[in-house]
Amino acid sequence: MRKKIVAANWKMNMTQAESADFVATLLLELGEVSDVEVVLVPPFTALAKVTEALAKSQNVKVGAQNMHWERSGAFTGEISAEMLRDLYVRYVVLGHSERRQLFGETDEIVNRKVRAAHEAALRPIVCVGETLQQRERGSVEKILSLQLRGSLTDLGPKELAETVIAYEPIWAIGTGQTATTAQAQEAHAFIRHTLCEISDEATADRIRIQYGGSVKPDNARALMTQPDIDGALVGGASLDARSFAEIVKGAQDLP
Ligand code: PGA
């Protein structure tokens, strides 16, 4: 049984005050959710505020949007896994397509970060996904396989089982153009098949695979009902506490 995981990727949005308001509304809207893991992923500058605002909540965790792979040193502008741990951060999004496309992150860099995250007991959410061009050329599986194998190199079964994969087709991010449930399920099944090749069936069965790309309250549940879709990584619709709460509720009471 894989527990559903729904994460709010705020990207470069939300001040401390806005974050605190968001958490207060979210907790009111959600009440106690125990069958869904909820993760808020604010910018670095709001991490402490979100943790503080969540003090009374058992079920909502905090994640970061990025980190550096070294523990400390002369890396101006960077943040280490230990620093995130120091702020009670539990998850870290790595290899988001915006980091790959705008900041030149390669699978090798993502892999260094993934390994450093595990060493610090942070759980990585590793993003993979194809461009529209790659989909039209029929190379979705090739791209996903390369990204997964490159980003997950040298991880043991325990680390893999504690890694979350986010399948985010780049053409669906922020465009309002969601993948159909069939397209998403097909990609997720392929990802699980690849994870099985990288490790073994028992491990692959434990790894949670989120879908991301224009997830909204009205399409989230249908996506998360698919057998290999174990949750959602939500961008735009996660900036509003009520709409994010609706998406979380859509993940409740699913097999
Ligand atoms: P979106 O972003 O929900 O705004 O499409 C998803 C993401 O980039 O994680």
pTM above 0.95, yes or no: yes
Which residue has a Cα nearest atom 9 of ligand 1?
235
- How far CA 143 is from CA of 39, 109, 121, 167, 206, in Å, comes to 27, 17, 28, 12, 23
212 lines ligand 1 (CB under 6 A): yes
| Mean local confidence (pLDDT), 26-51 | 95
**Would you call 193 a catalytic residue per the annotation?**
no
| Mean local confidence (pLDDT), 183-210 | 98
**Would you call 96 a catalytic residue per the annotation?**
yes
Strand, coil or helix: what is 44?
helix
Residue type, 75: F
**Domain 4-250, CATH homologous superfamily name and number:** Aldolase class I (3.20.20.70)
Q: Residue 63's pLDDT is what?
A: 98
Mutate to test the pocket of ligand 1, among 91, 164, 233, 243 (most ligand atoms within 8 A of CB): 233
* pLDDT tens string 59-77: 899 999 999 999 999 999 9
**Pick the catalytic residue: 37, 68, 96, 105?**
96
d(CA 146, CA 132) in angstroms, rounded, equals 17
Q: Residue 97's pLDDT is what?
A: 97
Which residue has a Cα nearest atom 3 of ligand 1?
235
